[in-house]
Amino acid sequence: MSGAFFGNTDALRERYNTITPEILAELKAAVGAKNVVAGDPDALESYASDEAGIMFTSMPDAVVKAENTEHVSAVMQLASKYKIPVTPRGAGSGLAGAAVPLCGGIVLSMEKMNRILEIDAINRVAVVEPGVVTNELCKAVAEHGFLYAGYPMSTETSFIAGNVATNAGGGKVIRYGNTRRHILGLEVVIPSGTVLNLGGRIRKDTWGYSLMQLIIGSEGTLGVVTKVIVNLEPKPGKTVNLLAAFPDLDSAVDSVAKVIRTGIPVISCELLDKISVNITTKHVNTPLPYQDKADAFLLIQIEGDSEERLEDGYEKVGNLCLQNGALEVFVAESRTESTAIWNIRQNLAEAMRAYDPYCSLSGDMVVPLSAVPEMVEEIRKAAKERGIAVGILGHIADGNLHPIIFKPESMEPMEWAEYAETFYDDLTSVALRLGGVGSGEHGIGYVKMPIFLHSKTDEELEIMRGIKRSFDPQGILNPGKLLGN
C-alpha cells in the first residue's frame, strides 16, 4: 500500500495468497494476455483509488479487463482456487472507497463490457452489460420514447453495475426512487465462478428469497454483476426547471416540504448553498442570477401533462417560494437554459476537486424530511466548532444531504483524511439519532465501515455475515469493505 489511510490492513492481507508468475500465466491463458495488466506501476496506479480521494489508495497486483461473462467466471474460479482477493471495479466514480483493492490481488474491471444488448419495447426493458455508462443508456432509450429513471448525479461517468452495487440515487429519487426500483434482472458471477440468473423481464414475483435484491447495494461483496435488465419508464410529459434564490439556507430548507405538499408532480428538488455555487459556477463559467445576494438556491423540476397544467404548476411553486422568502424565482425558458442550470449541479463534484484536491465528498447522510432543518443546523454547527469550511448541498426533497468539507491549509493530507472521516462519523451519529442513516446512495465501502458496524446490532451483523459466507465462504470478494470480513 502507498499513500493510504486505511489503518492496519496487514492482518487482513495475510489471509490471502499473492499472485505468483504461475498464477499470472493462468490468468492470461484464461482471458487473453491483452486483458491482463501486471508489473507496470504506472498502469496499475489508476486502479488504486476511486473518488473517495487521493488519500485513500492501495495498489492492485494485477488488473483484469474482462470482455464477457466467461472471463469473469474464469477469473473468479482461479481466485477461489488460489485464494486471491478480487475487487470488482466499474468507472471508479464511487465516493466510499469500495473500488480500492485494500488487499492488493486482482482488480476486475468492467470497462470492456460496455454494450447495450437490447432495448425491448414490448416488455419496457433494456438489457445491458455492466460497463455501460449511465448517460449512454439514458440517451439510447430516449430514442425509443423511454426514460431510464435510475439517474445518479454521476450519470455521465458512472457505470450501470456501479449504480447497482451502491443502489445509487440522484436528483430524480423523489419521483422515481433509487436504482433498486429500476432493476428487474441480473446476471451475477459468485466467487466460485458459478453464474446466477436472477429476476427477469417481469415486474412482480413471490417466489422465495430475492437474491437479486441482496446483490443490489452489496458493493461487490457478494458477486460480480455481468448483465443487467433495467426497467424503462415512459418519457415524462412536459417539464420545466425553476431556480429559486434565497437570502439564507433556512428559508430554502423550509420551502421544500411546502413545495412537496402542493401535490404538483416534482421530479427533482436540489439544494445548493453559496459555497458550492460560487466554486462550481466559476469552474463551468456559468454565473447564476442573484448569486451575489443569495445564500442558497433550490433547483426544482416539475412535470405537467399539458402546457396549461405546467404553467399552473410552476406559478404555484414559484409563488410559494416567494412567500417563503425567496429573493426571486427564475423559470428556464429554453432547453439551453435548463441544461446550463443542471450543468452546475452535475459538475459540482468535479469543481470541488479542482478547487481543493483534498476536499472530502463522502458525506451522504439521509434523514426524514421533517428532520432536514435540524440536520442542516447540526452540519453548520459542527463545521463552526471545528473551524472548517463546509458546502451543503443534496437531494433535499428526499432528505439526502451531501456536506462537502475543505482541508485547512495547515493540515497534512493524512491527518486530514482521519479528521474528515471523524467529522462525518459525528454527523452520521446525528442522522441516526434523527431516524436516518449514514448513506443514501454512495455506499459504505471502506470509508463509512466503522460507523456502519457501530450502528448495527450484533444480531443484524451476524445475519449479514452469514449471507456473506453463503455467497463467499473464503471472503475473497472485495475484502475489507462493508462488513470488514
One digit per residue, the tens of pLDDT, for the chain of length 485 reads 333 445 557 788 899 999 999 999 999 999 999 999 999 999 999 999 888 776 778 999 999 999 999 999 999 999 999 999 999 999 998 888 899 999 999 999 999 999 999 999 999 999 999 999 999 999 999 999 999 998 777 778 899 999 999 999 888 888 999 999 999 999 999 999 999 999 999 999 999 999 999 999 999 999 999 999 999 999 888 899 999 999 999 999 999 999 999 889 999 999 999 999 999 999 999 999 999 999 999 999 999 888 899 999 999 999 999 999 999 999 998 889 999 999 999 899 899 999 999 998 889 999 999 999 999 999 999 999 999 999 999 999 999 999 999 999 999 988 998 899 899 999 999 999 999 999 999 999 998 999 999 999 999 999 999 999 999 999 999 999 999 87
Instruction: Name which of 98, 63, 106, 65 is nearest 82 in CA terms.
Output: 106
Ramachandran angles phi, psi of 329, nearest 5°: -125, 125
Three cell numbers, residue 430: 446525528
By the 8 A CB rule, do 63 and 109 touch?
yes
285 domain-assigned: yes
Q: Are residues 274 and 336 in the same domain?
A: yes
Asked which of 350, 367, 390 is the last residue of a domain, the reply is 350
Domain containing 207 equals 116-234
> pLDDT at position 3, please?
38
Q: Are residues 316 and 400 in the same domain?
A: no
307 domain-assigned: yes
Q: Are residues 372 and 346 in the same domain?
A: no
296 domain-assigned: yes
- Give dist(CA 463, CA 461) in Å, integer: 5
Q: Are residues 400 and 423 in the same domain?
A: yes
Can you give the CATH number for the domain in which 169 is found? 3.30.465.10
Q: Are residues 140 and 214 in the same domain?
A: yes
> pLDDT at position 431, please?
97
Contacts of 296 (CB under 8 A, 6+ apart): 245, 246, 248, 249, 251, 252, 253, 271, 272, 273, 274
- Give dist(CA 132, CA 310) in Å, integer: 34
> pLDDT at position 427, please?
95
453 domain-assigned: no
Q: Are residues 227 and 173 in the same domain?
A: yes
284 domain-assigned: yes
> pLDDT at position 7, please?
53
41 domain-assigned: no
Q: Are residues 337 and 406 in the same domain?
A: no
- Give dist(CA 380, CA 403) in Å, integer: 9
Cα–Cα separations (whole angstroms), residue 130 to 13, 86, 164, 206: 28, 17, 9, 26
39 domain-assigned: no
CA angle 253, 152, 91 (to 5 degrees): 140
Asked which of 214, 234, 254 is the last residue of a domain, the reply is 234
Q: Are residues 337 and 361 in the same domain?
A: no
479 domain-assigned: no
> pLDDT at position 5, please?
47
CB atoms within 10 A of CB 127: 19
Asked which of 234, 259, 286 is the last residue of a domain, the reply is 234
CA angle 49, 387, 326 (to 5 degrees): 90
pTM summary value: 0.92
DSSP letter assigned to residue 440: S
Can you give the CATH number for the domain in which 411 is found? 3.30.70.2740
> pLDDT at position 157, please?
86
Contacts of 109 (CB under 8 A, 6+ apart): 47, 63, 64, 65, 66, 89
Strand order across the 125-128 sheet = 116-120, 125-128, 224-231, 183-189, 195-199
Q: Are residues 120 and 228 in the same domain?
A: yes
Can you give the CATH number for the domain in which 292 is found? 3.30.70.2190
Q: Are residues 146 and 212 in the same domain?
A: yes
> pLDDT at position 421, please?
86
Beta bridge partners of 187: 197, 227
Q: Are residues 227 and 261 in the same domain?
A: no
Q: How many domains does the chain have?
A: 3
Q: Are residues 126 and 211 in the same domain?
A: yes
Strand order across the 365-366 sheet = 328-331, 238-246, 296-304, 266-273, 390-395, 400-405, 365-366
